[in-house]
A and B are shown apart, each in its own frame.
Chain A
Amino acid sequence: MLLSVSAFIEMIVKNTRRSPAFRFASRPAVSGLLLFMLAPLIVTNLPGSTPAVSREYQIKAAFLYNFTRFVEWVPEYFETEDSPILIHVLGTNPFGDELRDSFAGREVSGRGFKVEFVPTFTDSRTPHLLFVPAGAELLIDGDLNEIHQQGVLTVGESEAFVRMGGVITFTLHADRVRFFVNRDSARDANLTISTQLLQLALTPR
């Protein structure tokens, strides 16, 4: 039995070696080219090569940083001239360490950043930017309008958040992260949003 199995394997190996495809693939140039094509696939599929945070939230974190560059807050909402821009993420943290990392060491108009993760809005001091992940809308104690009255740029990512009147809402459009801007809410929050940001925003239907 064992002999017949080994003979069978030997036959397959022999025939494979004789095959034109094997000879073609054995050429140094061809094998090098094959490795060249397969290398990225092999490396991206190695264990540990997948980041803990999804690409979507890496991009959204970068958008949050960009929003702070194109939105102006009234100076009264800052304690001092160089007080940091306070970023709060409500409820669950979909960013891992990526949000803190993306803001670390950066400045906008002479202000640094402070990123905090808070269980509820009422539990925290008023931030300048409040990110509300999908599903965390329920954690908002009260009306979004009350929050806007405190000069907060609210950013969400759900239809519920749009209905609540959030200032900026992320959406996925053709596999890309896009966003809506609610100008009325921005006005309520005393925020000045640059024309560049407004031009890139999607128009709600």
Chain B
Amino acid sequence: MTEHNHAVIPSKTKVSTSRFLRASGSLVSGMLILFTVPAATQALTPTSARDFADLSLEELMMETVTSVYGKMV
């Protein structure tokens, strides 16, 4: 009869693995958001004079000279 050497994984390690997976998941989702949100926001916001020139006069008059995050550019 062959004796199998069953390795017993301590419960602490199991918890660490699950925490690691959860952390990785949140990191990946965070990175996705980090890259997609600004890209989407930028696609909707005029960022050049050419973009602004596509707006109507009325729309142009609503644009503030200070950027959306309050940073003077």
Interface of A (DSSP majority class): helix
Q: Supply 9 further A-B pairs (C-beta < 8 A) apart from A29-B26, A31-B26, A101-B50.
A: A32-B30, A32-B33, A35-B30, A43-B34, A54-B65, A102-B48, A103-B53, A175-B64, A176-B61
Task: Flag whether A192 is at the interface (Cβ < 8 A).
Answer: no
Which of A29, A41, A59, A200 has its CB near the most chain B CB atoms (within 10 A)?
A59
Q: Which residue of A lies closest to B34 (CB)?
A: A39
Which of B30, B49, B53 has its CB near the most chain A CB atoms (within 10 A)?
B49
Count B-side interface residues using an 8 Å CB cutoff: 35
**Number of residue pairs spanning A and B whose beta carbons lie under 8 angstroms apart:** 113
16 residue pairs from A and B, CB less than 8 Å apart: A26-B23, A28-B26, A31-B26, A39-B35, A44-B38, A51-B47, A59-B65, A61-B49, A63-B57, A98-B50, A99-B49, A101-B49, A101-B50, A102-B50, A104-B50, A177-B61
